[in-house]
Amino acid sequence: MKYVDEFRDGALAQQIGARIRAEARPGREYRFMEFCGGHTHAIARYGVAELLPPNLRMIHGPGCPVCVLPIGRIDQAIGLALDHGAIVCTYGDTMRVPASPWRAGPLPSARDPLGGPDAQRQVRGPQDSGLSMMKAKARGADIRMVYSAADALKIARQHPEREVVFFAIGFETTTPPTALVVKQAAQEGLKNFSVLCCHVLTPGAIAHILDAPEAKQWGDAVALDGFVGPAHVSIVIGSAPYEAFARDYRKPVVIAGFEPLDVMQAILMLVRQVNEGRAEVENEFTRAVSREGNHAAQAVVAEVLELRESFEWRGLGEVAYSALRLKPAYAAFDAEKRFGLTYRPVADHKQCECGAILRGVKRPTDCKLFGTVCTPDNPMGSCMVSSEGACAAHYAYGRFRDIAIVAA
């Protein structure tokens, strides 16, 4: 296959679906988690679930980087703009993630951009429930959407008199560009540029999910038979990091591309592994993923960033060794240290089921807010914000069918 349309061939999809139905044994259940939000999107958009047998369930995992951002980290970014007068740069989807009600304090003004004695003061309290970076921008915060980390660095060069903070989020895919701009800022001696690093790592989250039966605070955990491994992440880190899950947890992993035929072929490969009692790492996405991954990308990340001992994920709680921060050699560019930030965890909306959905315990339609109070235009939780979020994908491509089923 050479062209993208070939990976969306309906006739081939029907054939693979028929093979999956033929090989799935009627006497057992198959539960596979697609970790990546891109796979969730493909499954919903192309109707992959309709081609699968009823005893095979695809479970959405925490593979959407915007969705797993805890509220406390969004609050930190908003605080840098509102309370410190910084220019905060971030990716587009992050702008709409709901944050917590804001506290009273100084807002930046043209005369005093750092929010000192001459700045205007505004009480921010219960009326600010549901504040987001976009809403904060509407109230005067200098928060800018960028397409890349390099865009944030460019803004820092253009405004040497202002503090510029790049709110760095994402899995291993977006981590190398962050490391590169920090190196470049150091080489150029940019004094006004820093990074609020919220990069998270896939293997730590998978291990946390597999250990969930011991995490009793989450209640019943979902039993999993295997994983559809992420595509872009695996291009960077390779397939080797997943071998421990196959070996130690006896869970097969099949790395898949984002197209519907990629996903369906990966599901067929997982069914075969389960039927044969195998637990191996297989690579369906051979056109882009190798066992070793991208050595150049790994090297720049290792030079600039290091593991955090623990990091909060929305839906998963504190996950050990699952995120990155800047190394001491680059501490001058660490926004948490530069501005003396203290992290404070914030609970989700009481009726929002994003946490349970990210753990695979519930489906989007299990949430009372889904499709009514919570929509892409008015998201109550992070899963409805990003196009890779399970709720957003479910709303866009499956809401009418699902509502009919619920009503029945």
The stretch 10-16 carries a mean pLDDT of 95
Average pLDDT, the chain: 87
Q: Is the pTM of this model over 0.95?
A: no
**DSSP codes joined into one string, 51-90:** GS-TTEEEEE-S--TTTT--HHHHHHHHHHHHTT--EEEE
pLDDT per residue as tens digits for the range 16-55: 999 999 999 999 999 999 989 899 999 999 999 999 999 9
What are the distances in angstroms from CA 274 to CA 31, 37, 207, 309? 10, 24, 19, 34
* Among candidate residues 105, 90, 71, the one with its CA nearest the CA of residue 344: 71
Q: Give the per-residue pLDDT at 219.
A: 43
> Two tokens at 104?
């009273």
Strand order in the sheet with 193-199: 143-145, 87-90, 164-170, 193-199
Q: Provide the percentage of residues in the chain whose pLDDT is more than 90.
A: 65
Pairing mode, if any, of strands 324-326 and 305-307? Answer: antiparallel
At residue 379, the 3 state secondary structure works out as: coil
pLDDT per residue as tens digits for the range 55-96: 999 999 888 888 899 999 999 999 999 999 999 999 988 998
Q: What is the DSSP letter of 165?
A: E
Helix (H) or strand (E) holding 251: none
pLDDT per residue as tens digits for the range 213-240: 543 344 445 689 999 999 999 999 999 9
List 334's β-bridge partners, or say none: 195
226 vs 354: which has the higher pLDDT: 226
Domains of the chain (ranges plus CATH)? Answer: 4-61+221-231+239-283 (3.40.50.11750), 71-202+293-338 (3.40.50.11740), 354-407 (no CATH)
CA distance 189 to 319: 34
Q: Using the predicted structure, report yes or no on whether residue 122 has a pLDDT greater than 50.
A: no
Confidence class of residue 401 from pLDDT cuts 50, 70 and 90? low
CA distance 99 to 22: 47
Confidence class of residue 3 from pLDDT cuts 50, 70 and 90? confident
Residues 6+ apart with CB under 8 A from 282: 252, 253, 254, 255, 269, 273
